[in-house]
Structure 1
Amino acid sequence: MRGICQFVIGVCLLGLVGCSSPQPRLGGSELKTYDVYTRLGFEYLQEGDTSNAKQSFQRAIEMNSGYAEAHNGLALVFQLEGDTALAETYYRKATQLEPDSAMMHNNFGAFLFANQRYEEACQEIARATEDPFYTRRSQAFENLGRCYRLLQRDDAAKHAFQRSLQVTQNRPVSLVELTDLLIDANEPADAGKYFDRFLELVDKRQTEHYAKSLWVGIRLERMRGNTSRAATFALILKNLYPESEEYQQYKESSR
Structure 2
Amino acid sequence: MNRLPNVSILLVACVFAAVLAGCAGPSADRKKEADARMRMGVTYLDQRNLPMAMQELTKASKLDPGNAEVDMALGLVYQARGDMSKAEEDLRRAIDKKPDYADARNNLGIVLAERKAWNEAIREFEAAAANVMYTTPERAYFNLGEAYRAKGDPANAEAAYRRALRANEQYAPAYVSLSAVFGRQGKWKDAASVLTRCVEVLPEYAPGWMDLGLAYLRLSRPADALKSFDKVLEVSSDPEMRKQAAGYMALLGAEKR
The TM-score, its normalising length taken from structure 1, stands at 0.67
Residue 76 of structure 1: how far off its partner (Å): 1.8
Q: Quick one: distance in 2 between partners of 1:106 and 1:87?
A: 13
Q: Quick one: distance in 2 between partners of 1:143 and 1:240?
A: 28
Checking the alignment, whether the CA contact within 8 Å between 1:179 and 1:194 is kept in structure 2 is: yes
- Answer yes or no: is 1:92 the counterpart of 2:87: no
Aligned partner of 1:253 in structure 2 is: none
Q: Quick one: distance in 2 between partners of 1:51 and 1:190?
A: 46
Change (3 A) 1:62 1:173: closer
Higher relative contact order (CA 8 A, sep 6+): 1
Aligned partner of 2:217 in structure 1 is: 218
Residue 189 of structure 1: how far off its partner (Å): 5.8
Query: Among the aligned pairs, what percent are the same residue?
Result: 25
Q: Quick one: distance in 2 between partners of 1:238 and 1:207?
A: 9
Aligned partner of 1:205 in structure 2 is: 204
Residue 240 of structure 1: how far off its partner (Å): 0.7
Residue 90 of structure 1: how far off its partner (Å): 1.1
Q: Quick one: distance in 2 between partners of 1:183 and 1:238?
A: 23
Aligned partner of 2:158 in structure 1 is: 158
Change (3 A) 1:46 1:205: closer
Residue 84 of structure 1: how far off its partner (Å): 2.8
Q: Quick one: distance in 2 between partners of 1:153 and 1:192?
A: 21
Residue 94 of structure 1: how far off its partner (Å): 1.4
Letter paired with 1:132: V
Letter paired with 1:126: E
3-state SS, counterpart of residue 132 of structure 2: coil
1:12-161 map, 5 Å: 32-161=32-161
Gaps of 5+ in 2: 1-26, 233-240, 247-257
Checking the alignment, whether the CA contact within 8 Å between 1:44 and 1:52 is kept in structure 2 is: yes
Residue 82 of structure 1: how far off its partner (Å): 2.8
Q: Quick one: distance in 2 between partners of 1:116 and 1:147?
A: 9
- Answer yes or no: is 1:229 the counterpart of 2:228: no
What is the total number of aligned residue pairs between the two structures?
212
Q: Quick one: distance in 2 between partners of 1:231 and 1:49?
A: 42
Deviations 1:70-121 (Å, cap 9, x if unpaired)? Answer: 1112212222233332222112211222221111111222223334443332
Residue 210 of structure 1: how far off its partner (Å): 7.0
Change (3 A) 1:153 1:62: same
Letter paired with 2:104: M
Letter paired with 1:218: L
Letter paired with 1:179: S
Checking the alignment, whether the CA contact within 8 Å between 2:212 and 2:225 is kept in structure 1 is: no
Letter paired with 1:42: V
Higher share of residues assigned helix: 2
Letter paired with 1:240: Q
Residue 47 of structure 1: how far off its partner (Å): 3.5
Change (3 A) 1:37 1:116: same
Q: Quick one: distance in 2 between partners of 1:122 and 1:213?
A: 29
Aligned partner of 1:240 in structure 2 is: 244
Q: Quick one: distance in 1 between partners of 2:48 and 2:173?
A: 29
Between 1:97-106 and 1:172-181, the stretch displaced more is 172-181
3-state SS, counterpart of residue 48 of structure 2: coil
Change (3 A) 1:214 1:63: same
Residue 218 of structure 1: how far off its partner (Å): 3.0
Deviations 1:175-195 (Å, cap 9, x if unpaired)? Answer: 233334345566666544323
Checking the alignment, whether the CA contact within 8 Å between 2:95 and 2:105 is kept in structure 1 is: yes
| Greater Cα radius of gyration, structure 1 or 2 | 2
Change (3 A) 1:70 1:171: closer
